[in-house]
Each structure stands twice: as structure tokens, then as C-alpha cells.
Structure 1
Amino acid sequence: MRDSAGVTIVDNGRPALDSRLGWRVGPTPTATIGTTEGDPAYELFRAGDATRLSDGRIVVANAGTGELRVYDPEGIHLASWGGQGDGPGEFGPMAPGGLEAWPGDSLMARDAFSGRVSIFSADGAFGRALRPEGGYASVVGPLPDGRVFAATLWTYSGGSPGASELTRPELEYGILEADGSVHRDLGAYPGSELYVVNTANGPLLRRYPFSRSAYPLVWGDLVVISANDRYEIRAYRPDGALARIVRRDHEARAPTWADLRDYVAGQNPDRPEAPDAVADMPLVEAFPAFARVLVDRLAHLWIEEYRLPGETHRLWTVFDPEGRTLGLVEMPGSFAVQEIGEDYILGTRQDELDIEYVESWSLDRSGS
């Protein structure tokens, strides 16, 4: 660690891939929510996020029914909050789309379609809605001082019909007051890469297998605005000043046409013609440096390692609250991690029949 003009810079070596931090994820889930048939309270549809309240209750954002579903620590359904509609505490189509803990043991639920977030108390009472102003449309999360970190949505102006490109729209970030008004603009930063095919009816978005992405999040009293072009996390103070840079050794590798075709073929085993659809796609300069970034309830930084072609690991590098590497932790199964607490991990997964589940796993941090 070193300081440079008021910025703390943390340079980390890369842990050996065969090493592991002494922390342990439990061998089986402590709670599994979801079912193929039966009680509708356990049938999940478009469950995109989950969080845990301080008393252990698990809240699931079930966008398919516009509800926040509440379960006890063992996964027993207790209540459902919200519902589809335009009224206070209700959600529009495809919402709630995300959950965040709110100061005071409250809960923030995102509703992108309606352009607002709804704040609920721990007992499910709707408190208020926050609508971002100043062109901001997405609330990343709350700050300790009561303000919120927000971002704009990406926009694409379009091109000539028949033309295609790998584009990267910029996103603007800002700090909002508790009522949604703008406190400070933080500027524009690269967003996620998109492959766009322009048609006479407008742009058509196509998924690009190795696109680089942007990761905004709240880290204690700092806000992170970083992308996975390189293994580097940049954290800013709410006034926009750069406060901390966390780096970890990383060897960049460029994808090949064979990598691209093999990936598409693996994702479409029943469509032998699928790899031909990527013949016009350009190659990015390098694979993403990492896959995802999360901050746990103890302000540790967790970065999911990117799996290169042929790799099957599910490794995360854990950093302490100051950005120093602690080591590697391996996640079980194929679930997508949504939240990491002091002694638990929440995630979502789908089985081979596309049945959705939310799982809670224990996390033991006692090992060195």
C-alpha cells in the first residue's frame, strides 16, 4: 500500500490458483426456496435477487409476480409484500429487479420500469418511493450519510441499416439526495460492451460472449466505478475525488476465433449452425480481467475470477476492507451469488428444467 497525491494505491500479487483461504462454505445449503409444483408461495418466477434481514429472514425479489417474498431462515414462507400495480409499494412489469439493504434495517427494491425505488421497513410497511432526478434512472445503493449512488441508463443513437459494431456506451454517475434530487454529478465512464446490428426497424442487440462490463457499487463510504478491462478497482469519495485504487496481478489473454466459435457451439449444442452467426463479430482485445464484484456485509471486496475457455473453477478473490488480498474462496454448485453476509451466502440458480431456486449457504470465516 502506498499513498499518491491523497490516493491510496494497493498493489496485490495473485494468489496461487491451487491455494485457498481458510474460510469455508458449507457442504449443503442451509435453506432452499423453490419448487416444481405445489404451494405457489414457493414457485419462483424471475427471481433475480435476494437479501437477508438482520433477524435472518430471507427476502426474494420475485419479479414474475411483482412481489417481495419473505421466508424464515429455514426457507418457510412468511409473507409477501408489494404486488403488481402503480400504487404505493407496488411494482411495475419485470419488477422488483434488485434489492439492497437500506440504513436502519430497511430494504430498497428497484423498479426500473417505473423509474423508482421503493423503501420498506423490516416488517413490510411501505415507507416511501424515491425517483431519481437529473437524468439518472438507476439507484445503485445508499450511502451511510443518507444520500444515494445513482447511474443513467445506456443509450445508443443507432447507425446505418445493415451495419454492425461492437459499441460501448458511456454511463454517467452521480450522488443524489435522499429525495432524489442531484447532489453532485460524478461524470461519465465506460459502460458494458454491446454488439449491435442496425436494421431498418432499429438496432438489434446481440449478446457478445467476451464483452467487458461496468461494475458500480457502494463500498463503505466510497463508491466504486470500475470496469473489468483490467484487474483494477477504483473507489471515489462522494465528492468525486479518487480515494483508492486496488490492483491485483493479472495476465491478459486475447481470445481467438476458435474460442469464440467454441463458446457459441457449447451454448447451442442443438444448433450446429449457431457458430456461423458470429462470423461477422469482431474480437475484443482481451478477455475480461474478472467476472463480477461484490461487497459483503463486513466491507470485504469479493471478485469472481473470470473462467477462460476450458476452465471450470468457481473461484473468488477476497480483499479486506482496505483492499489487501486475503486469498481465494471456491463457491459450490452453479448458483449465482447475490449477497455475502458475515456467516452466510445467498444465491440463485436454475435446474435442468429451468426451475428457479434461492439458496442460503453457511460461511465460516474462522480459518486463516
Structure 2
Amino acid sequence: MTIRMARTMRTLRATPALILGSLSAACGGGGDGGGLQSTVRDSAGVTIVENQRPPLDSRLGWRVGLEATVSIGTAEGDPAYELFRVGGAMRLSDGRIVVANAGTGELRVYDANGVHLASWGGQGDGPGEFGAMAPSGLEPWPGDSLMARDPFSGRISIFSTDGTFGRALRPEGGYRSVVGPLTDGSVFAATLTTFERGEPGTSEIIRPDVEYGILQADGSVQRDLGAYRGSELYMVNTVDGSPFPRPYPFPRSSFQFTWGDLVVMTTNDEYEIRAYRPDGPLARIVRLDHEVRAPTRGDLRDAVARQNPDRPEALDAVGDMPLVEAFPAFASVRVDRLGYLWVREYRLPGEQHRLWTVFDPEGRVLGLVEMPGSFSVEEIGEDYILGSRDDELDVEYVESWPLDRSGS
């Protein structure tokens, strides 16, 4: 299958690296008790932060509480607490929690104790309403507002914190999704490039590009940032040549988010976070020591069996599945409300940990924090972690867990 190649990325003139310094952050509890080394250097105007990997048995002194302080959700009862297809959650400055409940097309608002207060939006095509599988994703918006994504309609809706619908923004220039607002009032946007039909009856791992751009506040294009590697997709080409994506256990992915006044366009092929200035140049690279490991055919078979415990016939397709070159270097990334970078560690076959590596706002490693089990992180605040989970009956919950940063 032929896919459109990415435009050449901006290259840097090779110059001798200037070593600016060696910094250390204490890593408390377990391990050898030594400090973690972070070396910061400059290369042609790009800040490069090289970090030592924390030992897996070590922990940063920060602690997540033993139980949730707020839990929203119920198997049956008041419909205001029955969550379906949670697409995101965030906490407002006054402590209220907003939940994107895509199953009903609503933004549901709860007080700091989890008591339902109001529901905004609804399903439909009108102002402030949401289409199928939306709202999906919430982000703070300048002026004490919030944005909610409506991916299939290619727009975002902006609400004030009292529930008033402000306006809808539709990206122009072919962009399909808004990543988030920037500090100067512009908007970071992205879109997946298209790919051609493959040879009928074949299957392969493909990697379409993602194109990025900066938009004005009205959705018009301010500048294009270029195309970069996107996420890997396992594609099965049907008998008529139509591409059909199928689940695959170990795809390497692309990540897009804002980090202060920078935009991040990166992948987890390597343990490397690449952040750019909104006008295009690469500004910062954050790296962590990482050992590359390639999956085996046995790893693939075991993963497919776990994904399909009630469908043993799914294993029949494993022999035709291609293998990726390496496991992903990490699983996901979040920037907290204080600008710290949280990277969820990828669990290799046989590993059971739920670890996140924390970096300070400049990209220096601080240590490892363990999250509650079966918990998908939606937002990390100064003293809380907001997330979602499903129980054994597939009942959905949004929960707030306390976060104590007082430890070393």
C-alpha cells in the first residue's frame, strides 16, 4: 500500500553540543536511594534533556491516595449518574467536575462531592449540541471557559463555566481536529492524511502521516507546521481492495498536545518527547534511557488471546499478522495543571505495574508514581487525579483521587 510521505522535517545544523549542566532529582523509596541524573545541553538552539531511567522498584515521594474521594456513576438509579461512553472529564476552578457523556451527547456537571447539578448540550445539530460519539475530550479554554470536541462533525464547542454556549469553531484548511488552545490565543490543530487502497486479500501495518497547523481563534489557518509520522494501523484489505482497520496489540502511536507555550508532535517509537515553537522550529527534546525490545510471534499470539478470551478463532489470524519492529517506548502522555509532564510506562508482556514517570516543566526526570488499577487518567491537578474506569459489570465511573506532592 502506498501512503503519502511526510514533508521533510526541519533539520538542525550539526554543531558541538554545549553542556549546560547536570541536575539531579531525588527518587525516594526503594531502589538504590541515589539521585536521578538529568543532563541539559543546547544544540543549535534546541534544548536537549537526557534523563537517567528510574529503577522500577523506586518511587517518587508523591503519593496517590488509597481510595477515591469522589466517585460518580451507578449501575441503576438516577439517570443523571448513569454514565455511558465517557469521553473525558475535567475539574473547574471552583471544584465542579464536568463529564463528557457521549452516550447522551451531554456535558454533565457535578459539584465537588459528586452531586449532579446540571447537564449541558444534548444530541443534535443545533448550537451547543453534539453529534454521534460526542462530546469526546475536554480541555480548558482561555477566559475561564472549556472546549468539548465533536470529532465526527469536525468542530469544537466552547462553553462558559456557567453552561452558556459561546460558539462553535470549525477548523479550516482541511484540519479535522483541535488539539488545544495556545497561550497567545491561537489554536493547535491536526488531521490524519488519507491512504490508498491496498492489494485485495492482503494485510499490512501502515503508518499514515498526521498534518499539523496553527489556527486563528476563528478557525482560519495561521500557518501549516508540516506532516509527521502518525500512528501505526493494522490494515486488512478486503476482496474489493477496501482498507479495513483491525485491532493490533503493539502499535506505535503519535501524540499531540500543548505544553505551556510549546506544541508537542511526537511518537513512542523512542522514549523521546519533541516539542516545537508554534512558528515551527524544534525547541525541546526530552529523552529517557530506554531499552528497545522487539515482540515475538509468541508475544503476539498471547496478546491476541487476551484480547479475545471468548473467541479462540481469533488466533487463526495471528500467523498472517506482521510484527512491528519494536514495542512502544511508552504508553501515553499527560501535562498536569502545573506544567509537569507525566508519561505512562508501557507494560511489556509479563509486567503488571501501573507506573507513570514524572518530569518537571523543563523536562528533568523526578521519578515514578504508581496509579490505581484499571484507571484511565483524564486530568492531573495540583492535588488530585481525575479519571475514569469500568467495573466488572462494565459500569462506568468518573473518580477523583487525592494526590500528595509533599514527598521528596
TM-score, normalised via structure 2 length: 0.89
CA contact (8 A) 1:348 1:357 kept: yes
CA–CA separation in structure 2 for the residues paired with 1:318 and 1:220: 16
CA–CA separation in structure 2 for the residues paired with 1:4 and 1:270: 53
Q: What residue number does 1:182 align with?
A: 221
Gaps of 5+ in 1: none
The CA deviation at 1:272 is: 2.4
Residues 343, 208 of structure 1: alpha-carbon distance in 2 compared, 3 angstrom cutoff? same
The CA deviation at 1:48 is: 1.8
CA contact (8 A) 1:138 1:153 kept: no
- 1:73-152 equivalence runs, <5 A: 73-152=112-191
Q: What residue number does 2:291 align with?
A: 251
Answer with 347-356 or 309-318: which moved more: 347-356
CA contact (8 A) 2:192 2:209 kept: no
CA contact (8 A) 1:136 1:152 kept: yes
Query: Is 1:313 matched up with 2:330?
Result: no
Superposition RMSD in Å: 0.8
CA contact (8 A) 2:214 2:224 kept: yes
Q: What residue number does 2:52 align with?
A: 13
The CA deviation at 1:273 is: 2.5
Gaps of 5+ in 2: 1-39
CA–CA separation in structure 1 for the residues paired with 2:152 and 2:120: 18
Equivalent of 1:278, from 318, 324, 331? 318
CA contact (8 A) 2:328 2:346 kept: yes
SS class of match (2:300) = helix
The CA deviation at 1:352 is: 1.2
Could you tell me which amino acid in structure 2 is paired with residue 89 of structure 1? Answer: G
The CA deviation at 1:271 is: 2.4
Could you tell me which amino acid in structure 2 is paired with residue 88 of structure 1? Answer: P
TM-score, normalised via structure 1 length: 0.99
- 1:215-230 equivalence runs, <5 A: 215-230=255-270
CA–CA separation in structure 1 for the residues paired with 2:272 and 2:226: 19
CA–CA separation in structure 1 for the residues paired with 2:362 and 2:49: 8
The CA deviation at 1:73 is: 1.2
Equivalent of 2:86, from 34, 47, 51? 47
Query: Is 1:334 matched up with 2:377?
Result: no
CA–CA separation in structure 2 for the residues paired with 1:159 and 1:43: 43
Alignment: residue pair count? 368
SS class of match (2:49) = strand
Query: Among the aligned pairs, what percent are the same residue?
Result: 79
The CA deviation at 1:113 is: 1.6
CA contact (8 A) 1:292 1:304 kept: yes
Q: What residue number does 2:364 align with?
A: 324
CA contact (8 A) 1:48 1:97 kept: yes
Could you tell me which amino acid in structure 2 is paired with residue 38 of structure 1? Answer: G
Q: What residue number does 2:3 align with?
A: none
Deviations, residues 202-239 of structure 1 (Å, cap 9, x unaligned): 22110110000000000000000000000000000000
The CA deviation at 1:129 is: 0.7
SS class of match (1:258) = helix
SS class of match (1:279) = helix
Q: What residue number does 1:359 align with?
A: 399
CA–CA separation in structure 2 for the residues paired with 1:284 and 1:130: 38
Query: Is 1:194 matched up with 2:233?
Result: yes
CA–CA separation in structure 2 for the residues paired with 1:85 and 1:164: 38
Q: What residue number does 2:338 align with?
A: 298
SS class of match (1:113) = helix
Equivalent of 1:238, from 278, 281, 290? 278
CA contact (8 A) 1:48 1:348 kept: no
If you compute each CA radius of gyration, which structure gives the higher value, 1 or 2?
2
Answer with 339-348 or 260-269: which moved more: 260-269
CA contact (8 A) 1:25 1:331 kept: yes
CA contact (8 A) 1:107 1:119 kept: yes
CA contact (8 A) 2:159 2:165 kept: yes
Could you tell me which amino acid in structure 2 is paired with residue 50 of structure 1? Answer: A
CA–CA separation in structure 2 for the residues paired with 1:304 and 1:196: 26
The CA deviation at 1:270 is: 2.4
CA–CA separation in structure 2 for the residues paired with 1:39 and 1:189: 46
Deviations, residues 282-338 of structure 1 (Å, cap 9, x unaligned): 111110000001100000000000000000100000000000000000001211111
CA–CA separation in structure 2 for the residues paired with 1:256 and 1:318: 30
